Every structure is written in structure tokens, then in C-alpha cells.
Amino acid sequence: QKEVEQNSGPLSVPEGAIASLNCTYSDRGSQSFFWYRQYSGKSPELIMSIYSNGDKEDGRFTAQLNKASQYVSLLIRDSQPSDSATYLCAVFGAMTTDSWGKLQFGAGTQVVVTP
């Protein structure tokens, strides 16, 4: 079982609609969660970090965390063609595991925003 799982996509979203990306993780003790955006051929860019249950909003992005269910999601409102990219979910390992000090990455979800 992969430690961090995401749907690979592609997720096709009409311009102006909401893109919803999901991520599940296996390490129950994890406390830090991140979303990165990666354009083709470029390096990942940190767009959201979330540490406590609930929602965190930053501009058109909203991250949602549910530790009891072990999932974290990212909503992109008013999607634009410039949002077309691969979105990586990353989870910081719990202190009690071998993953402490490391980020575990999902394989990423490709989002395609169509005009």
C-alpha cells in the first residue's frame, strides 16, 4: 500500500468551474500536509500547507484536512487555463515512524482546465 495516494487523472475541468483533488495517507500520526503545483518540465511549487483539521483558504485555493479519515483535499475555485498542471500531495512523516524528517509524496493528479 502506497503511503500517499492520489488519483492520477487527468482531471478535466471547464474554465470557471471548481476543481476538486483528493489525497489519502496511511500514516495516522502525520501532522503536516502540503499541496504542490508542478508545471510540465518545471520543479514543484508550494501552494498550500495545512496542519489542523478543517479548511484553510488562500485566494482561489482551499485545502481541507480530516485527520480522522486520513484525507486531505484541495479545491481550486474559478479554475483558469493557467491552473493546468500536476498537483502533488505531500505528507510529513510522524515522529514515531521511519518517515520522520521526510516528506512522502503522492504521484500527483494532472489537472486540465479547458476554455
Q: Determine which residue in the list 44, 62, 64, 87 makes contact with other proteins, applying CB under 8 A.
A: 44
Exposure letters 42-73 (e unless 16+ CB within 10 A, then b):
eebeebbebeeeeeeeeeebbbbbeeeeebbb
Q: Establish if 107 lies at the interface with other proteins (CB under 8 A).
A: yes
Is the distance from CB of 32 to CB of 93 less than 8 angstroms? no
Binding mask 86-105 for other proteins (x = CB under 8 A): --x-x-x--------xxx-x
Is the distance from CB of 44 to CB of 88 less than 8 angstroms? yes
Q: Establish if 108 lies at the interface with other proteins (CB under 8 A).
A: yes
Q: Taking the mean position of all CA atoms in its chain, how far away is CA 27?
A: 16
By beta-carbon proximity to other proteins, the closer residue of 17 and 105 is 105
Q: Establish if 50 lies at the interface with other proteins (CB under 8 A).
A: no
Q: Establish if 39 lies at the interface with other proteins (CB under 8 A).
A: no
DSSP of 37-58, one letter per residue? Answer: EE-TTS--EEEEEE-SSEEEEE
Q: Which stretch binds other proteins (CB under 8 A): 11-19, 21-29, 42-50, 76-84?
A: 42-50
Contact residues: other proteins, CB under 8 A: 4, 8, 32, 34, 36, 42-46, 49, 51, 88, 90, 92, 101-103, 105-108
